[in-house]
Amino acid sequence: MSIVVRELTKTYGALRAVDGVSFDIGSSGLVGLIGPNGAGKSTILRIVSTFLSPTSGRVIVAGRDAAVDPQGVQRNIGYLPENPPGQHEARIEEYLAFRARLKGVDRRDRRNEVDRCLELCQLRPVRRRLIGRLSLGFRRRVGLADALLCAPRVLLLDEPTIGLDPLQIRETRKLLADLAHECVVLLSTHLLAEAEGLCGRILVLLRGRLAADLNIAELRSGSGFEIELCGPRTECERMLASLPQVTSVILLATQGGWHSFMVAAHSARARELAAHQCQERGWGLRELRSTRGTLEDHFVRLAMRGTQEAA
């Protein structure tokens, strides 16, 4: 695994910004981190990048424990924060050469490495411009070029397309899709359509908690389903999770002994088996329907569930 996060928690006084979040990410691919403002997206990226220490929990990146070997983690990541730093009085290529030196790139290889990242981020025509005179979109592209130095195994990108014009957004999305074949790209975004179009997997954060771990292919296939049934809640959840081809079970609501669940599955047969199990156990079954739809549909349902729980 390139990233392993276990029971990650971050508190600021009485505020719990991240609350017991756990997930694993493999050796390549593009994973989206979505949620409303204040959900904990940027905090998680800062902790994984070692720029922020957690209150509790464990983070392992490329086999390095962030608490034990933070420098080992930093050597394996490229990080683009929401507000990328930069020396405003420096020219783009000078700044990237400076950053390459800090990251340990050999002096003989430094020019080629800077040129590679300038090319990837479409910055060659403006390489001699002062960073302080760049638009927000160009400054973010400089930040992305910085993150790409040394070809890291893990890329952590906080809102990578903010401030870019439509053409720049298109180019950046293509670049990220290409990079995801060679490394892990974990990005946060407010744009659900962007997350759905780019990512194969989506982590949904609500109020600091991991509300769902969604597979985009499963959402589109229609194999998943929503079910409302009446029975012991724990037993209902255990039964659904034990069905063949089921990958996750998310409780949506509980009221008057009835429980609504969103179930992700690889096969539509799981729906039939769920209905059969309800009949065998004598549980009431009030609704059973396919959840084929967009990421936005699922996000809204999860957010509404979160609002009801908080009320």
pLDDT of residue 282: 94
Residue ranges, CATH 3.30.70.3100, the chain: 223-291
For 276-300, write each residue's pLDDT tens digit.
Answer: 999 999 999 999 988 766 777 777 7
For 68-120, write each residue's pLDDT tens digit.
Answer: 999 999 999 999 998 877 778 899 999 999 999 999 999 999 999 999 999 99
Two structure tokens written together for 137: 């979109």
Domain 223-291: CATH architecture, name and number where available: 2-Layer Sandwich (3.30)
Q: Is the dihedral of CA 75, 77, 80, 83 positive or negative?
A: negative
Please check the confidence at residue 307 and state whether its pLDDT lies above 80. no
pLDDT of residue 311: 46
DSSP the chain: --EEEEEEEEEETTEEEEEEEEEEE-SSEEEEEE-STTSSHHHHHHHHTTSS--SEEEEEETTEETTT-HHHHHTTEEEE-SS----TTSBHHHHHHHHHHHTT--HHHHHHHHHHHHHHTT-GGGTTSBGGGS-HHHHHHHHHHHHHTT--SEEEEESTTTT--HHHHHHHHHHHHHHTTTSEEEEE-S-HHHHHHH-SEEEEEETTEEEEEEEHHHHHHT--EEEEEES-HHHHHHHHHHSTTEEEEEEEEEETTEEEEEEEES-THHHHHHHHHHHHHT-EEEEEEE--S-HHHHHHHHHHHHHHHH-
pTM: 0.81
Residue ranges, CATH 3.40.50.300, the chain: 3-214
User: What whole-number distance in Å separates Cα of residue 154 and Cα of residue 27?
Assistant: 9
CATH match of 3-214 with 3.40.50.300: yes
